[in-house]
Structure 1
Amino acid sequence: MNLSFALFVVVGFVAVVLLIEGLYVYWSDTKSPEVRRVEQRLRAISAGGHTDRDDFKLLKQRMLSDSPAMQKLLLRLPRVQQLDRLMQQAGDSNTVSHLLAVSAILGLGGFLVSLVMRWPWYTSLGVALVLALLPLFLLVRRRNKRLHQIEAQLPDAMDLISRALRAGHAFPSALAMVGSEAPDPIASEFRITSDEIGFGVSVDNALNNMATRIPSPDMGYFVMAVIIQRETGGNLGELLGKLAELVRDRFKLFAKVRVLAAEGKLSAYILTGLPFCVAALINIMNPEYLSVLFTDPAGLNVVYGALVMMAVGIFVMWRIIDIKV
């Protein structure tokens, strides 16, 4: 075998090995599950918003986009921080730019399909608007479901902290125990708070950040009780035990109220959707029957009056079934 050819083979083999090793190191440093988990925790930590001047340097700003140019553009939009916090409360690990991109793609796709179907321009705009807002509606639904789960798990978490304090553990250690032993999604929130304290953020600010991420009255009671106890002193374990019992009874009462109000909600849904369903069926079976409502001025006045009365009825029924506990 020629010496130069053998040397070429050896050098080529070493180059391929180094290339594979470099690609693996790049992937492990930027795209591995551990790195993504750390980035997600850091982004969640920086979403609270309660930091002192000394704490601010410990936390990086929560990124709205992976692109620096898009980050600067999004920061100029109004209420973009509220949208980012909504995604955080829903447990969504994506960025705001990803959500806006999905909404834009759905809206544009719906508009193009409507044009291909030769629908009227106002119908095309309506379809595009509905599809563009669909990710936001799903996000709000996920957020409400997640907050409801956290509220249901909070009494057990407070009981766990109370037992840990009575056993002699420090309060930060008790928070870490909830993050490691409690079920998700409340465990992830307590892990974020425990990480904040571990990074050097004060306990009060870390708890306030958790209350900001979880806009629940029960979580506010928990944070307020801990902060007041740290300033005035007292038996925090006993206090949290009684607070857990109070929150659990409140949650049971709220569940009973929801059951009692279910009949009113069902009636509201039926009475609201029935006229539109009946009108759609009549229009399909006999289109000329309802045409007078949209062509005659008197018919238009009847339609407008019916819509106004329906709006008033919906508002009244909503206020009746919206029972505060």
Structure 2
Amino acid sequence: MLSILAAVLGFVAVAGFGLALAGQSPGQARVAKRAQAIVGRENRETKSRRGAVSAQDQRRKQILQSLKEEDRQKKKASLSISARLQQAGLSINTRTFWIISAGLGLTVFLMAMLLGQAAYVGLGLGFAAGFGLPRWVVGMLAQRRIKKFVESFPDAMDIIVRGIKSGLPVNDSLRVIGAEAPEPLAGEFKRMVENTGMGVSIDQAVERMYERMPAQEVRFFGIVLGIQQKTGGNLAEALGNLSTVIRARKLMREKIKALSGEAVASAFIIGSLPPGVMIVISVLSPTYMSPLFTDPRGRIILGGGALLMALGVFVMRRMINFRI
């Protein structure tokens, strides 16, 4: 009995070893090859999908990089003197501006010398008056004009919407804004109508308007017009929604201004208190403050205090400056 069992086990072992050496059957081989082909095809499809996704990501990154570079160049161009003069609505050119600045700086320097101030004090005052004061005045005028333009811009959108609904073309609606709207809105739309009359497309005309008026509302207006020209759609409805959004931005801006009014007043008081106290003491007791201007140590203290005050004003300005 044991010998029979040992023989059976030996036969099974030899048969299994033989099958292992002989390999798979033809049907199993075909199944294995088919499975390998399917797996290989899936791997190739997966690699192709990954390659397509990576190419799309690379293209998206390139587009974002180009847009950032374009925005940086536009922002740099909008901060130039010639752009600032256009934004302020001044008719002088860059050369005249620099001549006026140089004359103002030289006048302040000569006045400081006549009053008996030191040479470096006169140079500092002349540099501030010739380089800083005119740029500050032009920047203030430009910001005031842009703000006035943005406040009237939703009314212009409403005029275009009503004109389109009544059957007027877009150019005629723009012409109505140039004739009826207040300045500076009327002047900018007049230039836009003149540009389109000379063969310039509306997109390029809006781009030129944005160079003269670098406000986000103008960019939104150009985007709406560009999308409508390429894809079609109801322009009146799109401009009506844009007018609503611009008014909502204005309300949000005014709300933030009201909420931050206390912080702005505190920053103004804190920033103006030290120089105000120094001026009052200098008028009431000149001998008490004279060592700060005559003694070298006092001048060092004045320089350090001015540096710290400028740093504090800059930090407070960044804290209370909200952009929407």
Question: CA-to-partner distance for each residue in 1:233-281, whole Å, 9 max, x for gaps?
Answer: 1000111011101101211221121122222122112111211222333
CA distance in 1, matches of 2:106, 2:307: 32
Q: Matched residue of 1:287: which SS?
A: helix
The one-letter code of the counterpart of 1:281 is: V
Q: Which residue of 1 aligns with 2:228?
A: 229
2:177 — aligned with what?
178
Structural RMSD (CA) = 2.7
State the alpha-carbon separation in 1 of the partners of residues 291 and 253 from structure 2.
47
- Judge conservation of contact 2:292–2:302 (CA < 8 Å) in 1: no
State the partner residue of 1:125: 123
User: More displaced, 87-96 or 98-107?
Assistant: 98-107
Partner of 1:113: 111
Distance 1:108 1:188 in 2: 36
1:294 CA displacement = 8.2
1:169 paired residue number = 168
* Matched residue, 2:80: 82
- Between 1:312-321 and 1:288-297, the stretch displaced more is 288-297
267-276 vs 128-137, which deviates more? 128-137
Residues 4-33 of structure 1, C-alpha deviations (whole Å, 9 max, x = no match): xxxxxxxxxxxxxxxxxxxxxxxxxxxxxx
Amino acid at match of 2:239: L
Farther-moved stretch of structure 1 (78-87 vs 153-162): 78-87
Contact 2:150–2:215, Cα closer than 8 Å, also in 1? yes
Contact in 1 for aligned 2:78/2:214 (Cα 8 Å): no
Distance 1:207 1:321 in 2: 32
Instruction: State the Cα deviation string for residues 31-66 of structure 1 (Å, max 9, x = none).
Output: xxxxxxxxxxxxxxxxxxxxxxxxxxxxxxxxxxxx
Matches within 5 A, 1:189-200: 189-200=188-199
The equivalent of 2:258 in structure 1 is 259
After superposition, residues 31-180 of structure 1 pair within 5 angstroms as 82-133=80-131, 134-180=133-179
Task: Indicate conservation of the 8 Å contact 1:164/1:174, yes or no.
Answer: yes
Change in Cα spacing, 1:281 to 1:136, as seen in structure 2 (3 Å) is same
- How many Å separate the matches in 1 of 2:235 and 2:164? 8
* C-alpha distance in structure 2 between counterparts of 1:265 and 1:143, whole Å: 22
CA contact (8 A) 2:264 2:320 kept: yes
Distance, in Å, in 2 between the alignment partners of 1:182 and 1:246 is 20
Q: Which has the larger radius of gyration?
A: 2
Whether contact under 8 Å (2:78, 2:211) holds in the other structure is no
Quick one: distance in 2 between partners of 1:294 and 1:140? 36
Q: CA deviation at 1:302?
A: 6.7
User: Aligned equivalents of 2:79 and 2:317: distance in 1?
Assistant: 30
Preserved CA contact (<8 Å) 1:293 1:302: no
In 2 relative to 1, CA 80–190 (structure 1 residues): closer, same or farther, beyond 3 Å?
Answer: closer
| 1:142 shift after superposition | 0.8
Pair 238,137 (structure 1): closer, same or farther in 2 beyond 3 Å = same
Distance apart, 1:110 and its partner CA: 1.9
String of CA shifts for 1:103-136, please: whole Å, max 9, x gaps: 1221222222222333211222123223323332
Partner residue in 1 for 2:8: none
Equivalent residues in 2 for 1:277-288 (5 A)? Answer: 277-284=276-283, 285=285, 287-288=287-288
CA deviation after TM superposition for structure 1 residue 306, in Å: 5.2
Change (3 A) 1:233 1:293: same
Query: Would you say 1:209 and 2:208 are equivalent positions?
Result: yes
Q: Which residue of 2 aligns with 1:269?
A: 268
The one-letter code of the counterpart of 2:194 is: D
Cα contact 2:175–2:189 (8 A) shared by 1? yes
Any idea what SS the aligned residue of 1:218 has? helix
In percent, how many aligned pairs have the same letter? 32
Query: TM-score with structure 1 length normalisation?
Result: 0.68
> What per-residue deviation string (whole Å, max 9, x for no partner) do you get for residues 121-164 of structure 1?
12221232233233322111110000000000000000101111
SS at match of 1:118: coil
**Matched length:** 247
Distance 1:208 1:80 in 2: 12
- Hey, what does 1:62 align to over in structure 2? none
Structure with more helix by fraction: 2
Q: Is the alpha carbon distance of 1:129 and 1:261 closer, same or farther for their aligned partners in structure 2, counting shifts above 3 Å? A: same
Q: For the Cα contact (< 8 Å) 1:180–1:187, is it kept in 2?
A: yes
Contact 1:154 1:186 in 2 (8 A): yes
